Amino acid sequence: MARKAHNLVFAGGGTGGHLYPALVIADALRDSLGDGTAVTFIGAQRGIEQRLVPQSGYPLVSLRISGIKGRGIVAKLSAATAAGWATLRCWAWMRRNRPDLVVGVGGYASGPAVLAASWAGVPTMLMEQNHFPGATNRWLASRARVVCCPSEDAKERFGGIGTVTGNPVRAAFFDTGDLPLGERLSLLVFGGSRGAHSINRTMGEIAGRLARLDVPPRIVHQTGEADAASARLAASDYPDGLYEVQPFLEDMPARLAASDLVVCRAGASTLSELTAAGRPAVLVPYPHAADDHQRHNAESIARVGAARVVTDDELGDGRLAGVLEGLLADREGLRRMGAASRSLAQPGATERIVELARGLLEGTHVP
């Protein structure tokens, strides 16, 4: 008997933290279900999905939608109206295309698409990346057939709803090997797909101090487009050829493999990649993240000795430079932190999520 051709939808994105796990599961489900599987993404017009989804070979339906939280009353009303129209558009699209499963992955487009799917009678699944789930997913959880949680902490914050799966990570992150720990150590700095202005500014301020170390580290710095030019200018006095500035890094697994220490934000997907690679980190949680979830994420990593935490407020007082100097001078400490980081990795997350999705598609899932 021929296998049934499935029609799947992944909804959400906005940032790499939401989108990369979705692409991992989309690829894995297509491989698992066979060539007849159709996968469509629904995303926001201004999200990172506009570039990465087409690059991955999937069609993208774009919604004119933006965030609501933390905005003024007029902007909130406008965003809420746009979300309402987006939900109706998604409902009409699903009535026409009849997907077999809609997977909400977080981000602006996730809410309208998952809500519309529930109205249209389409089975739904949520993928939550953070240990402190966002408001949209908390609201949608009771409407979804399956909720995939990164940890027991996240499940508890869903009121006990969901299955602990871990966060899916591209296989390449598990193949990075041990810390290089060569004669010259390597520092990787990034703030997410769009960069982080406070981290970029501080790296410019402390580059001279790091350059005065006996063996200055090699630095690779992802800045985002907005700060790339100013970061290159700030790095111009660093020893020649040892400070690389890039607006965006496409080859993050290879970059992590070459690094001994990482400075970054504390998004859940980023931390899953760090732990898969077993890299020690200095985490700078984004202070305006919804429900302060990045701080919760960072503290969970720091508690096991895999990272140090520097707040955004502390960046300007020289603390980041001092922490980096101390860590770069302690190779054995870096090795211990790397081992602690790798102990947190969850290599079976992709398989667990695929199994749950297949259970919904095949009618074998038991809530």
Q: Where are the domains of the chain?
A: 7-168+347-362, 172-343
State the residue for tokens 């249209």: 120
- Name 186's bridge partners: 218
Highest mean pLDDT among 17-21, 30-34, 189-193, 280-284: 280-284
Cα–Cα distance between 75 and 89 in angstroms, integer? 21
Segment 302-323 mean pLDDT: 93
| Burial class of residue 258 in the structure, from the number of CB atoms within 10 Å of its CB (0-12 exposed, 13-18 middle, 19+ buried) | middle
What confidence score (pLDDT) does residue 1 get? 40
Segment 289-310 mean pLDDT: 90
- Asked if residues 105 and 148 have their Cβ atoms less than 8 Å apart, the reply is no
- For 131-185, how does the pLDDT look when each residue is reduced to its tens digit (9 = 90+)? 888 778 888 998 899 999 988 888 998 999 999 999 999 999 999 999 999 999 9
Cα–Cα distance between 100 and 313 in angstroms, integer? 47
Segment 64-88 mean pLDDT: 77
pLDDT band at 366 (very low <50, low <70, confident <90, very high): low
Q: Which CATH class is domain 7-168+347-362?
A: alpha beta
- Asked if residues 284 and 267 have their Cβ atoms less than 8 Å apart, the reply is no
Tokens (6 digits) for 254: 């290879």
- For 82-116, how does the pLDDT look when each residue is reduced to its tens digit (9 = 90+)? 888 999 999 999 999 999 999 999 888 899 999 99
Cα–Cα distance between 33 and 5 in angstroms, integer? 8
Max Cα distance, the chain (Å): 69
Dihedral angle of Cα 107, 112, 118, 120, to the nearest 10 degrees: -140
User: pTM to 2 decimals?
Assistant: 0.82
- Dihedrals phi, psi of 252, to nearest 5 degrees: -60, -40
What confidence score (pLDDT) does residue 131 get? 81
- Asked if residues 305 and 336 have their Cβ atoms less than 8 Å apart, the reply is yes
Segment 107-128 mean pLDDT: 93
Sign of CA dihedral 364, 142, 68, 194: negative
Per-residue pLDDT at 194 exceeds 80:
no
- Lowest-pLDDT range of 191-195, 256-260, 283-287: 191-195
What confidence score (pLDDT) does residue 70 get? 58
Cα–Cα distance between 354 and 278 in angstroms, integer? 24
Sign of CA dihedral 126, 128, 133, 135: negative
Q: How many helices (H) and strands (E) does the chain have?
A: 14, 13
Q: How many Cβ atoms are within 10 Å of 330's Cβ, its own excluded?
A: 12
Q: Do domains 7-168+347-362 and 172-343 have the same CATH topology?
A: yes
Per-residue pLDDT at 286 exceeds 80:
yes
What's the topology of domain 172-343? Rossmann fold (3.40.50)
